[in-house]
Amino acid sequence: MDDAGFMALALAEAQRGFDEGGVPVGAVLVGVEGRLLGGGHNRRVQDGDPIAHGEMDCLRRVGRMRSYAGTTLYTTLTPCMMCTGTIIQFGISRVVIGENRSFDGNEDFLQSRGVAVTVLDDPACVALMQRFQREKPAVWAEDIGVDPPG
């Protein structure tokens, strides 16, 4: 499977989160040999867990590994600083980002720490996040740690 195929799996996770009433960010982790290791989606709203971002849920579901070297994390939205730190901490080699229009992430920081970064600018990822931001601006503000609108 190629980057677009794995991003489609991450987007399906994001859609699951949206359908559950949460923030639509999904992620999947792919091993060195190109095999899907697991996926997850943002569960902050559903679980009342402030750190249950899509990338974090994905890694929790994949579980403990001896090494994450050579793995690729596909995420529908550019990672926040918390998720960026986790990517660096565990030595994930590559991050493929669905879109970076909706949030000013940490791509330069990832690259400065040796992580290969690819931004797909996927229209479906953009559309889902824009829909969420229109429909639930207060939840979005909470997720990114800013004051709610109005």
pLDDT of res. 105: 85
Q: What is the mean pLDDT of residues 115-143?
A: 95
Q: 108 is written with which tokens?
A: 């330069």
Gyration radius of the chain over CA positions = 14
Q: How many C-beta atoms surround the C-beta of residue 49 within 10 A?
A: 13
The pLDDT tens digits of the residues spanning 38-94 come to 999 999 999 999 999 999 999 999 999 999 999 999 999 999 999 999 999 999 999
Has residue 147 got a pLDDT over 90? no
Taking a C-beta distance cutoff of 8 angstroms, is the pair 11, 125 a contact? Answer: yes
Q: Enumerate the β-bridge partners of residue 95.
A: 73, 117
Has residue 148 got a pLDDT over 80? no
Question: Of the given ranges (54-63, 97-106, 122-131), which has the lowest mean pLDDT?
Answer: 97-106
Helices and strands, counts by H and E, the chain: 7, 5
In Å, the largest CA–CA distance within the chain is: 48
Long-range contacts: 25-28, Cβ < 8 Å, 24+? 25/53, 25/54, 25/55, 25/75, 25/76, 25/77, 25/129, 26/54, 26/58, 26/75, 26/76, 27/54, 27/55, 27/57, 27/58, 27/73, 27/74, 27/75, 27/76, 28/58, 28/73, 28/74
pLDDT of res. 143: 82
Q: What is the mean pLDDT of residues 5-9?
A: 98
State the chain's mean pLDDT as an integer. 95
CA distance 121 to 111: 18
Give residue 149's pLDDT band: very low, low, confident or very high (50, 70, 90): confident
Has residue 127 got a pLDDT over 80? yes
| CATH numeric code, 9-144 | 3.40.140.10
Tell me if residue 60 falls in helix, strand or coil.
helix
Has residue 146 got a pLDDT over 90? no
Catalytic residues: 55
What is the reported pTM? 0.95
